[in-house]
Structure 1
């Protein structure tokens, strides 16, 4: 028998990226509050700061806050909705023969999309708490250890998945197909590790407890360095395969996965730097931060241009975004745009403005901010487009085995 299905009913762990993208968009709205709402004395704005700005600010600031609140609420909801859907779908999927086939192929690393999305959800919930929960900052020192336990469990899950994959391919010759390694899909584990690392870095920046800050600094360093090492090795081997075999069309979006990894590593560095400054009296200069962020932004632009060139030549957007074909890997397109938006906000505010190159709220300030906001809203449109394609009512028959 046959039944109408959605593309998402043909499950892949890459659908965890639907949750990830929504969570990332919630952060882009929090960036408005982080950069444009005064929060003197505290590293991040809280509900009290936001409420004060809302009740005393002008119409433009009030509109910005209301839109930011709406954006955070909407995309945290979608983040959790698709995370829960994925966890349920993955539990069913792992009982199938398709899961065993995946576990014995290059695509085994797609399972790391699960801890990646989980870590993003923890970050998203923290953002929502700051934006909506009165008095949260008064108990935040009790929340940081709990958050580190949660990130630790997610990190162990990621390391376990990566360990299973590496143990299989490094102990059995010939099981890794280099001809199918012609994309940056194998960088997904590095993405997951970096997301855990940036989560651990949050207490390093915000806690006033020396032990908490120290533990957070060490663990965030471990996962971030591990992510960087894995990224470099995987990128070199993948690029060699792409030069020989061309880039796999359905995996083309992975060419830009380095973009979100760079943003995450940048945020990790900024959080660690603030923790070292506030707790251990280690001081850097705004100019050093500006140059550091500029270097990472340069890497992002290079890979955005490379990825865009390849995707355009392959006709990826015409087929998988604007056309009728679907691929769960299309959700990987959301991450670079979100990451670029967030990176531009940090580069502008923590780099150019802090170093005195650009005046806050000047014309140049708003030009760069506008680029970040345009990237943000393009990704919002892309998310809703992909959600309709993959989770809307399908029109393709799906074979259903007789019971």
Structure 2
């Protein structure tokens, strides 16, 4: 009989770091309102002064959007940090248990990469908070970029140490990796973590005016991005073979859509790199090329969205683990694709359709396309509050089922 005095989160899994990741991603999705709707001439991103000017002189609709963005960024940045702090404390306690030793000896050791993944997202989210709420930040931003790169480098080293320990164990001798339990895309989590560090490292390339800073940002983010792509291809290929033989692991079903956030993160990395090449090294890409590039990325995402939806529906995942009585920390993996689609659609609409001249900004077609981004964002917000209530709220009869 289940212990009704325990919350599902009391059965800890490193996958709970995805709760922090999801909140951080929603913070980014609210920043898209400011990024594409607030004028910021001469700067790649809007800052506090741009936002205040737009609020003072803008239309009631723009003022409402700014207020919504302010509230959304503040609330979800707080949830991001709160969840990260809880996870770091819970992981420290978990390391003292036999369960941690068992995890380090199983396929699930790769779930430890959720920690550097969440750390990298928090650094990105805090940079957004600084841009939006801190006056005068842009005047010292060139001093912040080296500090940000040091932070991302430290997170990257942490991620590669965990990956190295995992791969060193499973590749140095046979029989320690359970191929029958590789029937999901859970092993793509290391690639996701590295890609998140890569996009953070690419930020100075898009925003700095110092050639050395831009160059280092370009080179290191390229190494990280290529590493993430290679890991994604290899892990996904081997996982598909296992899924065809054994079916998709039910608790890890949401990982079938992990390719969606990986594509968004790497897509933004490439856009940041292109901007740095343009502004610092006089390398130019046309708006039409950007439109085709973003269309290709969105096509990949829609393909994996369809794959995941088909499998999850066939398994009855949503009725059991999202709206039903069962719980699994792997459910938090559903937030990432929704956030990633929202952010990608914003870029596709503004940097693709509008920039290429296909549609007019703020026209009927513009808002029709943007509505899909907002709908995906609303789904992500609902999932975060729903899952937080399930896992961290009033104790439920069902205990958490760790995702492999």
Quickly name the TM-score band, shorter chain normalised.
Answer: over 0.9
5 Å-filtered alignment, 1:112-151, equals 112-151=113-152
Separation in structure 2 between the aligned mates of residue 247 and residue 395 of structure 1, nearest angstrom: 26
Alignment partner, residue 339 of structure 2: 338
Separation in structure 1 between the aligned mates of residue 143 and residue 331 of structure 2, nearest angstrom: 39
| Structure 1 unpaired stretches of 5+ | 399-403
Alignment partner, residue 385 of structure 1: 386
Q: Contact between 1:5 and 1:397, CA under 8 Å: does it hold in 2? A: no
Separation in structure 2 between the aligned mates of residue 143 and residue 369 of structure 1, nearest angstrom: 32
> Cα deviations across residues 371-401 of structure 1 (Å, max 9, x unaligned)?
1001101110111000000000204498xxx
Q: Contact between 2:8 and 2:396, CA under 8 Å: does it hold in 1? A: no
* 1:368 correspondence with 2:364: no
After TM superposition, give the deviation of residue 4 of structure 1 in Å. 1.1
Alignment partner, residue 402 of structure 2: none
TM-score by length of 2: 0.97
Separation in structure 2 between the aligned mates of residue 3 and residue 308 of structure 1, nearest angstrom: 32
Q: Contact between 1:184 and 1:255, CA under 8 Å: does it hold in 2? A: yes
> Cα deviations across residues 259-298 of structure 1 (Å, max 9, x unaligned)?
0000001100000000000000001101001101100100
Separation in structure 2 between the aligned mates of residue 286 and residue 107 of structure 1, nearest angstrom: 43
5 Å-filtered alignment, 1:44-193, equals 44-193=45-194
After TM superposition, give the deviation of residue 3 of structure 1 in Å. 7.3
Separation in structure 1 between the aligned mates of residue 213 and residue 55 of structure 2, nearest angstrom: 33
After TM superposition, give the deviation of residue 5 of structure 1 in Å. 1.4
Q: Contact between 1:4 and 1:397, CA under 8 Å: does it hold in 2? A: no
> Cα deviations across residues 19-65 of structure 1 (Å, max 9, x unaligned)?
00000000000000000000010000000000001011111111110
Runs (4 or more) in structure 1 with deviation over 3 Å come to 395-398
Separation in structure 1 between the aligned mates of residue 82 and residue 129 of structure 2, nearest angstrom: 15
Separation in structure 2 between the aligned mates of residue 353 and residue 56 of structure 1, nearest angstrom: 23
Q: Contact between 1:30 and 1:127, CA under 8 Å: does it hold in 2? A: yes
TM-score by length of 1: 0.98
SS of aligned partner of 2:252:
helix
CA-based RMSD: 0.9
Separation in structure 2 between the aligned mates of residue 133 and residue 352 of structure 1, nearest angstrom: 32
Separation in structure 1 between the aligned mates of residue 65 and residue 354 of structure 2, nearest angstrom: 21
Alignment partner, residue 271 of structure 2: 270
| Structure 2 unpaired stretches of 5+ | 400-404
